[in-house]
Every structure is written in C-alpha cells, then in structure tokens.
Structure 1
Amino acid sequence: MGELSPLFTPDRVAVVGATERPGSVGRALVENLVADFEGEVVPVNPNADEVCGLEVVDGVGGTGADLVVVAVPAPVVLDVVREAGEAGIRNVVVISAGFAEAGGEGAGRERELAALAEEYELNLVGPNCLGIISTPVGLNATFAPRSAPSGTISFLSQSGAFVTAVLDWAADHGVGFKDVVSLGNKAVLDEADFVDSWGDDEGTDVIVGYLESIEDGRRFVDVARAVTRETPVVVVKSGRTEAGAQAASSHTGAMAGRDRAYEAGLREAGVIRADTVQDLFDAARVLAGQPVPETDGVAVVTNAGGPGVMATDAVGEEPLSLAEFGSDTLDRLRERLPEGANVYNPVDVIGDADNERMRAAVDAVLDDDAVGAAVVIAAPTATIDYGDLAADVADLQAHHDLPVTTCLMGGERARQADDVLDEAGIPNYFDPARAVGSLGTLSRYRDVRDRDLPEPTTYDVDREAARDVLERASDRGTNRLGVEAMSLLDAYGIPTPAGEVVDSPVDALDVAERIGDRVVMKIVSPDILHKSDIGGVKVGVPREEVYDAFEDLVARARNYQPDATILGVQVQEMVEMESGVETIVGTNRDPQFGPLVLFGLGGIFVEVMEDTAVRIAPLAESEARTMLDDIKAAPLLSGARGRDPVDKAAVAETLGRLAQLVTDFPAILELDVNPLVARPDGVQAVDLRLTVDPDNL
C-alpha cells in the first residue's frame, strides 16, 4: 500500500464492466465520471464498442489508467485486479459484491483479493462498496444518483447506502465535501488508512465517518491521536447495544463490553463521537467553518426571551459557561439598548429590535475578553431583516475572529439568510440547543488538540514471579484462577492482606493463629465464581471457630456444585472496611483495542450500579487519575458526610500497575480485583479472579 492521494487525483480512470445497459452499475459509473471529471474516462468491456459516446477497450492492461474501477461479477474480479497490477496500475476500487459478505466462498475470494493487493502493492478500496468521490477534480467514481457538493469535509462510511443518503441531504443543507469514500468490506484499505491520509491533506479541514467496526483498534488509536492534533475527527459508531460481552465470566468483562471498548478507544484517539447523524454533521459544519474558542464563556444575544432561556439551559449541558460581561461591555449595552432590554447574559434586545440594535449588541459582547463564542438568536419580526442580520453576523464574526453560531428561527425568511451564513461558515439552526451544542463541540475539540499525551507510567515489578503464578495455574489444567493467585498482585506491587490457601481445617487453624484474633475465610474453586451467593465467604471468624468454618465452607460448595473443583479455603487477614470505600479495578481484553482497564465502585452490587470508567492499557498515571473523577460516585472518594478522603494516588497507582500487568502478559484475558478497598492510608486488594489463555503464556 502506498500514498493514498493518487486515489483521489487520477488523470485517467478505467471502468471495467462499463456498459450501455440502462440502470446498470457499469453505466452509472461512466455517466457519473463523464459528468464532471477533469481527466479521461476509459470504458473497459470486451463485448462492447462504445459506452456513453466513449470508445471501449478490451482489457484494463492497455488503458494507461492510474485508477481502475471494477464493476464485474465477483468471479472475474481477481483476474481484472491481477491484470491491473501487472500493468503497473496501483489504485483500484472494487464495486463488485460477492465477497466476505456472501459467506464461505466469497470470504475465500476476498482473502485472495487482499493477497493480490499485497503482491502488487495496490491501494484497493472495497470490495462491495459504492466507490469514491473527490470534488476538486470532479471525480465521482460511484454509482450514487448524485455527486457531492464541494467543501472541506472528508467523509468515510462503512455503509454505501448511508453515503447516498448523506449526499442527497447535503445538497439541501449547505454541507460540502472534499473526498468521500465508501469503505465496503475493507479487504485492504480501512478507516485508519484514510484518517492518516486526510490528516496530511491541506484540503481537508474535518474528517467525519460512519463506522460499524474498526479493523485494528490499536493502529486506529495511534493514527488518530496524531491526526487530531491538527485535524478534528468526528464519527458515528453504530452498535451501542451490541451484547459483545455476553459470554464474559467476570464483572469487568460484563461491564467493559464492546461499546465501552469503542468509547475508550475513540476517547484515547481524540475522536469526537456523535450520537446521531444530525450531531455528526452539526459537528462537521462548525469545525470546518468556525475557529476554536480560547475560553468556554458563551454570550447569547436574542430578540426573543423564550429561545434565549432555552439556549441558557443548553449551555449548562455542555462544557461551556455563560460569560460574565465586564463593566465596559455592560456600559456599551446600556447605551445602545432600550430601558426594557436585559444587558446581562443572555442579552435580550427585546422584540422590537431592528438590525442596528442587534448588530450593536453582538459587536459589544464579542469585544468582551470573557467571551469565547456567541450564539445569535432571532425570531422573525417586522423590524428585523434576516438577510441583513446574516450579513452583519458574518461581518462581526470575521472582524472579531471568534466562533459564532446562529438560530434564525422561521421558515422561508430564515432560508433566505442561509447562503450568506454558509459562505461565512456560520451554521444556522432552528433549535437554540443545537446552536449551543455546536459550540460545545468546538470546546471539546480544543481540549483534544491541546491535551498532553504522556507516555505510560512503568513500575518496578517482578515479572518472573508473576509468570510463575500463571504457569502453575496452566499446569493444573484450569484457565480460571481466584484468590489462590493473589501472589500475582504481590509481584506487581499491589497491596494484599496476609493470608494463605489451605486444604485442611488443621492448616486453616494454623494460619489463623498467625494472622490474628479474627479472619476471613473463602471457598477457593475455579468453578464457583460468585462465592457470596452460596455462602462461600465467612467474615470475622474467631480462631476457635476456624476448624468448623472450614468444613462448613467445603460442604456448602459440594452441595451447591458436586462436581466443582475445590482447591481449598483461603484464610485471610481482616481488612478494616469502616474508613474505606469498596472499589473494583479490572481488565478485559478486547479483540480490536487490546487490554482495557476498568475502575468503579465495587462490592456485591457492582453490576447493578455499573458506575465505571474504562481506558485502554497501558496507562499514564495522570490518565489513571482521570478515571477516579469520571465515575458518578467520585465524591465518595474525596470524602463525604465527614469521612476522610481516600488515598487517590494509591488507587491510581494500582490501576497503572494492573494495566502494566495485563500489557506484560497477553495470556490474561480478564481480571477482577473486587473489592479493592481504598482508605485514607492506602489500598488493599481483598479478592481476585482472572481468566487466562494457557496457550499464550
């Protein structure tokens, strides 16, 4: 695979499968190319002489093309691509279906296609795709019913149907594109390749996408982290409710399912995730047309009180605040506005305002140092001309160089202002909340652009001791471990209570006498995951009852699951819980993004509360600290109702050490420490369970 820009800047395009047959893909491709393409179009069909008035050639090898678009039956595609490769053509778009999406034979054919692309070093889009568009050269190598309006947004989509719908919608909403790619099956080129390429493209101001999956999550994160320093990336990722963790055996696996993995991956990549298609293009328009604010203070100027209140409410739901105007600004507003107007934010110029009054108010607030952005709201009145208002707003936005969005409410009158606002890159909305939400997007991107990206923190650990624990488990022929593997945590510097796993009541009593007056006792079995549910945990057992408690725990386990493997009973030091908060730290290995780290409130209700934060491992300690602030129960960690705050540094360090553990040992598939008791003087890991892949040790 080489540089991708030649895909979008060909001089000659060959269409294999071109035909005169009305309604065919081959004819639509040629018609779309002929319509606007600045270069030459060469139809390829051994059974035709002419297509759309163009002379037809027999094979792709003699076309001299630098881009080949293939629209022939799937069994013929491999021969065409091989011929293109042998002719030195390096850019191929395979429209044809009948590959992996069709099942067994098609999947094999797709593997062969990928192998050909590797052999000939092809930039190959598809198969099973709509095609590609590049507006600067008039390239429409798709069979969509219309091309894209020109602009500075580059757009990729896993769904070809979504592309056609967006192109149709964009033509009516002032949204323009630089490049458009339908990814199809992504046999060769995927989303990371195009994000990487467009990140270096001076003609692309914003990258947007519709994704159903990400092929290589780690590579995507690495690419997007670099790109989003200069170019914003916004995606809609479908499949939020996918039950990707339905077979998970741990709390972490259940809660860090597939969508949580994407959420964590996109966050680390610096990608802004849109919830809806409307949000996607609201974000794209404002990022392409408006500067990024330096501060989060927003000014609202309106001639209608109700919409002004709606905008104020929306500010509170975004990473924004209502700007507090300085005295000079308030004086200017008092001079220019009538007595009944409100000069404080939101500024209400009242319903009889004319264009001059609106302009004066907008100019005054944009001149205030506390204002980073503004929303201009107007309801139609006899005293306001929307066309003039749009021109005034565009002029003031350019003069002050601050981001502005508008909410010119109404029908035909508002549409008359759209051309002026579109030309200035100022989005206009009917809903005040959308106008504010777009400014929130700018603020979020500023935080992405300016964020620090520290290297993962590394700790002094005993890898060999950890490896020994895992290998001993493998030797026992089980892939599930529990408290018998607590020394794994010790090897990575995670504090654990004193204790041992014993296989007789006599040994249990001996350990208890060394620990103290009272102990905790837990059944140890890889087959019994939820020990508390069967009465498999006893807390505060006095020494004189340890012998009987051992036998009772074993009996309960046998009655619950007669065929369970019983490794013994753990006798453990009592952990002081009164001053602590029960948390959970855990990991789960995602197929695309690798190991994830989870933090949240722990204990027996962890899956009920589901108050957790997820990140990709390994972790910088600063990022681990943000996880503590991300959960709803964060105030409990800082001290609540007279309690002392927990040692957050120790919790963050535990997360970092756990992230290093699962990065060092890919054999660990899932791991829960629940609870990790966080106290003012440190942390202790009280319970553990993990799943390993013995073949990966």
Structure 2
Amino acid sequence: MNSEADTGGLFAPERVAVIGATERSGSIGAAIVRNLDDFTGEVVPVNPSRDTVFGRQCYPDVASVPGEVDLAVVVVPPSIAVDAVREAGEAGVTNVVVVTAGFSETGPEGAQREQELRAVAAEYDLALVGPNSLGVLSTPANLNATFGPSNALPGSLSFMSQSGAFITAVLDWANDQGIGFKDVVSLGNKAVLDESDFLAHWQDDPATNVILGYLEGVEDGREFIDTAREVTRDTPVVVVKSGRTEAGAEAASSHTGTIAGSEAAYEAAFEQAGVVRAENVQELFDYARSLDGLPMPESDRVGVVTNAGGPGVMATDAVGDSRLGMASFTDGTLSTLEETMPEEANIYNPVDVIGDADIERFETALDAVLADENVGCAIVISAPTAVVDYEELAAAIAERQADHDKPIVACLMGGQRAEPAAEILGEAGIPNYFDPARAVDSLDALAVQRDVESRTYEAPASFDVDEERAREILTDAADRGATRLGVEAMDLLDAYGLPTPDSAIVDDPAAAESAAESIAGDVVMKIVSPDILHKSDIGGVAVGVAQADVADTYETLVTRARNYQPDATLLGVQVQEMVDTEAGTETILGMNRDPQFGPLLLFGLGGIFVEVLEDTSVRIAPVSDREAGEMVDELDSAPLLRGARGRQSADEAAIREAIGRLSQLVTDFDAILELDVNPLLATADGVQALDVRLTIDPDQL
C-alpha cells in the first residue's frame, strides 16, 4: 500500500470540500459542484474569491470550514495545488482527490511539483488520488466528484482507469447498455494511491463483485502481483492493458531480452496474479457481465442449443479456439433428445432444434442438455422466427439456470426484437450477445476465474546455495570493470547448483593441455572474452579437440580473436568436457530484468532455434515448483521433452529445479540484468548448462 490512510473515505464521505469551486460556466470547479447536487452528504465550496457557489455558503479555505471534512477535491491551478493539499492536511482532511493537471505529465517542472505533492501526502498520511485525475464517484452515496458529463448507474462493478477520458466514454456507453457501477476512480498520475491500493480496498468491499481496470502501466510490479493474487482468490479482476515500455526493444544483448519484452512481463504478471486480461473494451465488459451474474462452471464442457445451424457452427468453432471444449452427451441424453426432437433435428452437440422450434421444444432440449453430467455450461442461440417469442424464451432460460445452477449465456440474435428479452436475461444475471464468439469468450473467462479461485498458493522454491561464492564472482567481475560475462561465469551457475560440465579457464597452451588431461576424452575449447559475444561466428569455438591438438587449438583460437577484435579483452580459453548434445534436447533458460516487475524468467527450446521458433514461456521470479512446471507445459515443443517420436524423455524434475535455482539466483542479485543459459541440455539423466552469458550492473552489488 502506498498510504496508510483509509481509502474507504474516498467513496463514502459525509462532507466533501471542493477547493476551487466556482460558478464560472465551462469551468471544472463548476462542473464538479454541479455533479455533486445529488450527493447524500454535504458539499462545501472553498474559494477565497466567492461568498456562495450555486447557493451554497463558500469558505475562503478548508481551515475555515466548521466541523470535519472527509474528502477534499482540489481543482485550483497547479501553481497553488500543492499548497491547497497541504492546507487540507493541516485541517485534518485525510482523503484528497487532485483533479488539477500540470504535474509529471508536463515535464521536469511538473515532475518536481508532483514530488512535492507526494511529500505533503506522506507528511499528513493522505489517501490521495491523482493529480491529473477526472475524480471519483460512488453510487451508494450518489457521490459524483468528477467533471465528467455522465453519472454512473448503480451496480456491483468497481472500475479504475488511468485515462479520465476513457471513464467518460465508458460511463456514457454503459448507461445505454444498462451496466452499473459501485465505485469509479480516475487514477491520474498515481502520485500516492495506485492500482494496488484500490485492488486491496475493493477486495474488502462486499458491494463490489468484479473489479475492472484500464491500465497503461503498473507502478510497483511485485506489489501488484502480491496484492492481486490475494484479491483474485475471492473477487474477479479484469484488466485492459495498453501501452508498452521500451524495455523489450532495448534489451538486444541477450536472447531472453529480445524475446521477453515488457509486454511478456505483463502477460506473466497477470497470469501469476490471477488477473483476467481483456484485449479491448468489449471484452472487458463481456467478461464483467458473466463474472458478475453467473455461477462458476464445474467443468469446461459446453452444450449448445440452437434453432440456427450456422450460428451453432460458429459457436463450435469459437469453443475450439478457447480453452473450453464441446461436451459429449451421455447415452441417456441422446436417447431423450432422439425421442423428443423432430427427425430433422441434430441431437448431437451443438443441438439444432431447427427453425420451426417453439418455446416447448427449446425448453425440452435445454432441460436435457443441462441435466447431462458432462455439460458444465451452455449457450442458447436463436435467430428470430415467427414461432419463437424472445421474451418467453428469455424467461425459460433464466428459470433453467436457476434450476440447474449451471452458467448459461444467450445469443438471442437481432436488434430491437432482442432488447426486451435481454433485459429479462440481465435481471437473472445472464448476458445476451449477438455474436456467438462473444458468448464463448465470456464462458471462457468464467473458467479462468474458477481455476484462479481453486489454486493453492505455493511458496517460491528454495535451495541450499553458495550465495557468498556467487557474490565474490560478481564482485570480482565488477572490480575489473566487466559488465558482460560469458563462460567465465560458469562458476556462478555452479554456486547455485545448476549442473555444468567439467571445465577450466586457462591463459597459456601448457595450462590448456593440463586442463584437458584432467578431462577424459575430447574437449570443447572456447575463447573467453566479454567483448566477443558470438564466439562461434568468428571461429572462437572448437568442438571435439583431441588431447594432442589442445595446445595448437589454443593458439589458433587466440589468434582468431586478436584478428577479429584487436582491442578485445581476452581472459583466456575455456577447456570444457565434451557433451553429446544429441543425447538430449537443447533448451534455453534465461532472465531479463523488467523495470516494473523485476526478473522475468524465460524457458523454451534453445540452441540455434531460440530466435527462429520463439517457443518460450515466461514467469516473474521468484517462482514455485508448480509455476516452473507450467513453464514447461506451455511450450508447443513440450512433447520433444516427453519422448515424442521415440525420443528419450527428459528429466522434468531436473528442469523444474534448474528453473527454480535460476529464479533464486536472479532474485538474490539485483545486479544481474540479463542472463542466458543456452543451451541448457535436458536429458533423461538431468540437465547441464553448456554455456552462459549475462549482463550485470556493478552499482547494484
């Protein structure tokens, strides 16, 4: 939480002071006072230049207001806004909304002003929204402390947005759709209170059934994950996320950085936190409506009843594109449908009751489908016909959902004809869509939330490691001015228990021969230089070197490196045990430190294919053993690790442990900015890290 103040006072105040209130037409101060006309509490205008505002007594400052003020809305110019907030804090106000713009969004001067605002809020322990905020509203108290043109209908959705303009558009649209809200907050610049604060507040609010958000970024990624993970166990959170940071584009020095940019970090964070991500506004409210009104499905198997074959096929296709599946009916259900449906009807899923179906036929088919133990949820589709009364059909659907306690969504397709039926369905919490694909997506969101609520949280994996040895390796590199490390950092992996082949780094031919003698068989030799990243491209790697050729190979590799880059720092040559890469599958295990969320782990198919196939999965570290297993499961190439086409299965427990150990390493050391283990060879006997590359920030050590 960014403030210890009670955020509840923002939405349930008894007295609201509008600092900067005025009657001037077209002004924000006037709009806010007017929007508060229906507020159930008291509105107190504050403006030293006026005696009254719209008939209400006006005070020169907050300190002059008799009694307590629960919420102050600041709409004065930016040059005096910080002073106005300070005066509110001195007067004992604990909740402040700064509508005034002209802060960090405007440049260095505004950023300095915002820093001063943050300091004042900390000094007086203020629950402060903004600056640059549209305001807040809460329907139970008829509180509309915004300068938007529309109020909200009452409802059980609570909504936060970084864009004030988005709120005005959403409220206008939602009013037409009959969608209501409990609370709405425009986050503005999030100088004090941010998305995590409001998630925590609404978690404890029994009147909020679903939390919605429009976010352009997250202030504290770790706090967001931890908070949202707690909230989503009981309250669904649906978010539209727009905008991208430059982290992905700038992280060009590693495979992981290139593939796992900031957008991947948000995807991973939402997944780990249990947040349902919507891609657009339509999905945001489609998901909200299903999560707000429908029971959770016991299974992901969908039954479809339709009087129109085409839309039924469309629904089936949409189910195939989702995580859901079409239900296979029991023999009893098929017998019932065969006995009660016309010969022309299709009794298999999707059930087509054909175009001349009346209400009774719909009811019979729907009863049979919902009674089937293999059906977890249902979609009822109808095109308009002369024999179907949509309002009667809507009432029948609502009755059956109550009887069977299984989620049903409707596609009563049409225009004005469908509107009264949609109202009947809406009163029962059943959404109605024109497009069958939207119906499927809304059921998919229910299934996602059900899985989130049934999760058992696992603490991050923890291993016995040699943290001090790892610190020494990183500190030694920093002391010599190195920021990019290669195979000379293999001991770092060893310190954290990631298996590595036997190897040594040597600085003359004789030492190379001695090192090779201690390793049975042929060896691999690699140039060790922080300045030469792609060593194989310049002939800096020799594979299968016989003992007799080690000294000459040493000289050859050094000569190639000097010719390629005369000023490169050469730390020597690595002499490494020869590993048969054909005995397993080459994977990549890496990390890129995201500016919002911290260490972003990546696992996938490695070797030369990593950038071509990009078959990878990501999570925010630290991860649990379960999450490490999910990273493996999500790969399209997972069958390669599990013995596809006669291959020997890899040791998945060893893979999960390697992911967990790397997770612990990059969590322990903020100085590691990027890290690639590529390849990490996965075999039936375990894993081995054959190469490593990392970037460090010496200032973090």
**Mapped partners of 1:551, 1:609: distance in 2:** 36
SS at match of 1:10: coil
Deviates more, 1:238-247 or 1:365-374: 238-247
Contact 2:15 2:71 in 1 (8 A): yes
Structure 2 equivalent of residue 131 of structure 1: 135
**Mapped partners of 1:3, 1:354: distance in 2:** 56
SS at match of 2:208: coil
**Mapped partners of 2:579, 2:147: distance in 1:** 67
SS at match of 1:393: helix
**Mapped partners of 1:362, 1:494: distance in 2:** 56
1:32-111 equivalences in 2 (<5 Å)? 32-34=35-37, 36-63=38-65, 64-111=68-115
TM-score (norm 2): 0.97
**Mapped partners of 2:564, 2:517: distance in 1:** 29
1:634-653 equivalences in 2 (<5 Å)? 634-653=638-657
Structure 1 equivalent of residue 603 of structure 2: 599
Q: Structure 1: where are the runs of 5+ without partners? A: none
Alignment counterpart, residue 184 of structure 1, candidates 184, 188, 206: 188
Q: Which amino acid aligns with 1:527?
A: D
Contact 2:247 2:595 in 1 (8 A): no
SS at match of 1:152: strand
**Mapped partners of 1:342, 1:241: distance in 2:** 51
Structure 2 equivalent of residue 195 of structure 1: 199
SS at match of 1:641: helix
Cα drift, residue 589 of structure 1: 1.8
Q: In the TM superposition, what whole-angstrom CA distance separates every residue of 1:388-442 from its partner, at most 9, and x where no partner exists?
A: 1111111211222211111111111112212111211111111101101100110
Q: In the TM superposition, what whole-angstrom CA distance separates every residue of 1:348-376 from its partner, at most 9, and x where no partner exists?
A: 11000111211221122112222111100
**Mapped partners of 1:94, 1:54: distance in 2:** 22
Q: Which amino acid aligns with 1:420?
A: I
Contact 2:248 2:260 in 1 (8 A): no
Alignment counterpart, residue 412 of structure 2, candidates 392, 408, 411: 408
Q: Which amino acid aligns with 1:347?
A: V
Contact 1:264 1:616 in 2 (8 A): yes
Structure 2 equivalent of residue 284 of structure 1: 288
Alignment counterpart, residue 279 of structure 2, candidates 271, 275, 282: 275
Structure 1 equivalent of residue 161 of structure 2: 157
Does 2:17 correspond to 1:14? yes
Q: In the TM superposition, what whole-angstrom CA distance separates every residue of 1:161-198 from its partner, at most 9, and x where no partner exists?
A: 11111111111222211100100000000000000000
**Mapped partners of 2:98, 2:82: distance in 1:** 10
Alignment counterpart, residue 118 of structure 1, candidates 111, 117, 122: 122
**Mapped partners of 1:202, 1:85: distance in 2:** 29
Q: Which amino acid aligns with 1:376?
A: V
Deviates more, 1:124-133 or 1:536-545: 536-545
Q: Which amino acid aligns with 1:32?
A: N
Alignment counterpart, residue 584 of structure 1, candidates 561, 583, 588: 588
**Mapped partners of 2:94, 2:252: distance in 1:** 44
Structure 2 equivalent of residue 25 of structure 1: 28
**Mapped partners of 1:153, 1:533: distance in 2:** 57
Q: Which amino acid aligns with 2:347?
A: V
Contact 1:520 1:539 in 2 (8 A): yes
Cα drift, residue 39 of structure 1: 1.2
Structure 2 equivalent of residue 5 of structure 1: 8
Q: In the TM superposition, what whole-angstrom CA distance separates every residue of 1:36-85 from its partner, at most 9, and x where no partner exists?
A: 21111111111123322322222122333211111110011111111111
Deviates more, 1:206-215 or 1:500-509: 500-509
Q: Which amino acid aligns with 2:40?
A: E
Structure 1 equivalent of residue 318 of structure 2: 314
Sort the Cα spacing of 1:644 and 1:633 in 2 relative to 1 into closer, same or farther, 3 A.
Answer: same
Contact 1:245 1:256 in 2 (8 A): no
Contact 1:131 1:142 in 2 (8 A): yes
Q: In the TM superposition, what whole-angstrom CA distance separates every residue of 1:615-652 from its partner, at most 9, and x where no partner exists?
A: 12122222211111111111111112211111111111
SS at match of 2:148: coil
Deviates more, 1:316-325 or 1:681-690: 316-325
Cα drift, residue 243 of structure 1: 5.2
Cα drift, residue 543 of structure 1: 2.3
Structure 1 equivalent of residue 567 of structure 2: 563
1:432-471 equivalences in 2 (<5 Å)? 432-471=436-475
Q: Structure 2: where are the runs of 5+ without partners? A: none
**Mapped partners of 2:444, 2:244: distance in 1:** 22
Contact 1:242 1:259 in 2 (8 A): no
Contact 2:247 2:594 in 1 (8 A): no
Contact 1:497 1:685 in 2 (8 A): yes
Does 2:377 correspond to 1:363? no
Contact 1:579 1:643 in 2 (8 A): no
Q: Which amino acid aligns with 1:112?
A: E
Cα drift, residue 245 of structure 1: 4.2
**Mapped partners of 2:354, 2:409: distance in 1:** 20
Q: Which amino acid aligns with 1:17?
A: G
**Mapped partners of 2:619, 2:41: distance in 1:** 47
Q: Which amino acid aligns with 1:575?
A: V
Deviates more, 1:194-203 or 1:246-255: 246-255
**Mapped partners of 1:341, 1:667: distance in 2:** 67
Q: In the TM superposition, what whole-angstrom CA distance separates every residue of 1:649-686 from its partner, at most 9, and x where no partner exists?
A: 11111111111111222222221111011111111110
Contact 2:522 2:545 in 1 (8 A): yes
- Percentage of matched positions with identical amino acids: 65
Does 2:198 correspond to 1:207? no
Contact 2:487 2:693 in 1 (8 A): yes
**Mapped partners of 1:499, 1:579: distance in 2:** 20
Cα drift, residue 452 of structure 1: 1.5
Sort the Cα spacing of 1:240 and 1:278 in 2 relative to 1 into closer, same or farther, 3 A.
Answer: farther
**Mapped partners of 1:305, 1:341: distance in 2:** 10
SS at match of 1:96: coil
**Mapped partners of 2:370, 2:245: distance in 1:** 43
Alignment counterpart, residue 543 of structure 2, candidates 539, 543, 546: 539
1:319-398 equivalences in 2 (<5 Å)? 319-398=323-402
SS at match of 1:597: strand
Structure 2 equivalent of residue 511 of structure 1: 515
Sort the Cα spacing of 1:444 and 1:399 in 2 relative to 1 into closer, same or farther, 3 A.
Answer: same
Cα drift, residue 331 of structure 1: 3.1
Does 2:556 correspond to 1:552? yes
SS at match of 1:351: coil
Structure 1 equivalent of residue 693 of structure 2: 689
**Mapped partners of 1:247, 1:49: distance in 2:** 59
Contact 1:282 1:438 in 2 (8 A): yes
Alignment counterpart, residue 235 of structure 1, candidates 221, 233, 239: 239
**Mapped partners of 2:102, 2:157: distance in 1:** 31
Structure 2 equivalent of residue 670 of structure 1: 674
1:520-531 equivalences in 2 (<5 Å)? 520-531=524-535
Q: In the TM superposition, what whole-angstrom CA distance separates every residue of 1:508-528 from its partner, at most 9, and x where no partner exists?
A: 122222223321111111111
**Mapped partners of 1:465, 1:65: distance in 2:** 58
Q: Which amino acid aligns with 1:9?
A: A
Cα drift, residue 160 of structure 1: 0.7
**Mapped partners of 1:397, 1:38: distance in 2:** 37
